[in-house]
Amino acid sequence: MKKMFKLSLIMLLAFSVVLAGCGKKKEETGATGSEPAGDAKSSIKVGLVTDVGGVNDKSFNESAWEALDALKKDKGIEAQYLQSKSKEDYVTNLNKYVKGKYDLTWGIGFDLGQDMKTVADQNPDAHLAIIDATVDSPNVRSITFAENEGAFLVGVVAGKMTKTGKVGFVGGSEIPVIKRFEAGFKAGVKAANPNVEVKINYTGAFDKPDQGKAAAATMYNDGVDIIFHASGATGTGVFNEAIARNKAGGSKVWVIGVDKDQSLEFGDDVTLTSMVKGVTTAVDKVTREVIDGQFKGGSEVLGLKENGVGLADTSSKNVPADVLKAVDEFKEKIISGEIKVPEE
């Protein structure tokens, strides 16, 4: 028995030595870490909290992080992200940056709205910004997009280019943001060709590629040849299904990407076009304002007019010129207010 006590004592000792070592090490790196930041052009710290999709969702979390990553190199700001594993993490992750006295804390996604409100009200001195949700607090900058307008344009492309007369829409959860995608897409398809049928499927998740794949398979089997997805990482499954079908031969199927130019990720063989959301631009813009010491609360909606949404630049690879011309005409009409795109 004595030996056992001795052993555990030794282990406890070893453990505390390890711990002590940690403390020392951290101080050292802390000191060296602050030096280059001092030399750089800007010394502000920006944190970003993703929703459960994670930072590699090939969608809007990734777009947002790209902006900060670029600013890190460009302006020398200190930028970091925290991925949320579950909804419990939103408050604590936001608080990590807020209590860590970061100059700006980003929350990416509609899901974080409620928790950001809580954190913002508890810390009136903190500066926060959110994408895709409107938070009514003076110290939060809310940025939402008129997804319906962008979705309308890809709807026009789909309506004009479908050969089977059936197109599909795969959504994540049925939340207002995604409803705007659906409404715009449907209106766009009908505007281009009233005879085209639009099939709708909500998978209920933004992080389940297997469900995206299943939803896409059902639609393609039903004779759909173009699917527009607005489902974050779930959409990876939609692309994989389309790629597999095109490889196996059979009739050609397409996917319309979302949030960023997804042809760069999945290839031009399968990506007809993408509805690009200016998340990167918006994050860049607001962060630069903070760098210049000009943080403003309040909310704004970025639509076609503000260049907040639109078609990907690479669209001309697969979309013929006459279709793109029609898209441009519709775009002008929306900007001038001649066409009002429904929101739901």
Partner 1 sequence: MMSKLFKIFSVNSLLVPLVAVVMGLIVGAIIMLIGGYDPLLAYGSLFKTVFGNVYDFGETIREITPLIMTGLAVAFAFRAGLFNIGAEGQYIVGMTAATAVGIKLSGLPIVVHALVAIIAGGLAGGIWAGITGYLKAKRGVNEVIISIMLNWTALYFSNYIVRNFLLEKGQQRSEEIKDTASISIGWLSTAFDNARMHWGTIIAILAAVFFFIYMWKSKQGYELRAVGHNGHAAQYAGMSVKKNIVKAMFISGVFAGLGGAFQVLGVFHYQAIFTGSPGIGFDGIAVALIGLNHPFGILLSASLFGILTYGSAGMSFGAEVPPEIIRIVIGSIIFFIAAQGIVRWVLKPFYLKRKKEKVL
Q: Which residues in 207-217 are b (16+ Cβ under 10 Å) and which e?
A: bbbebbbbbbb
2-21 mask for partner 1 (x: CB under 8 A)? Answer: -xxx-xx--x---x--xx-x
H/E/C letters for each residue in 119-149?
HHHHCCCCCEEEECCCCCCCCEEEEEECHHH
Residue 58, interface with partner 1 (CB under 8 A)? no
**96, 48 contact by CB (below 8 A):** no
201-230 mask for partner 1 (x: CB under 8 A)? Answer: ---xxxxx----------------------
**72, 37 contact by CB (below 8 A):** no
100-129 mask for partner 1 (x: CB under 8 A)? Answer: x----------x--x-------x-------
Size of the site for partner 1 (CB under 8 A): 45
Residue 343, interface with partner 1 (CB under 8 A)? no
Q: How many CB atoms lie within 10 A of CB 310?
A: 20
Tell which residue, 135, 127, 88, has the closest CA to residue 109.
Answer: 135
Spatial neighbors of 66 by CB under 8 A, at least 6 apart, are: 280
Instruction: Identify the residue among 10, 13, 74, 87 touching partner 1 (CB under 8 A).
Output: 87
Instruction: Identify the residue among 83, 134, 246, 314 touching partner 1 (CB under 8 A).
Output: 83
**50, 109 contact by CB (below 8 A):** yes
Residue 312's Cβ-side half-sphere holds a number of Cα atoms within 13 Å equal to: 22
142-161 mask for partner 1 (x: CB under 8 A)? Answer: --------------------
Instruction: Identify the residue among 13, 25, 136, 210 touching partner 1 (CB under 8 A).
Output: 25
Which spans of this chain sit near partner 1 (rule: CB under 8 A)?
Answer: 1, 3-5, 7-8, 11, 15, 18-19, 21-23, 25-26, 29, 52, 54, 80, 82-83, 85-89, 91-93, 95-96, 99-100, 111, 114, 122, 173-176, 204-208
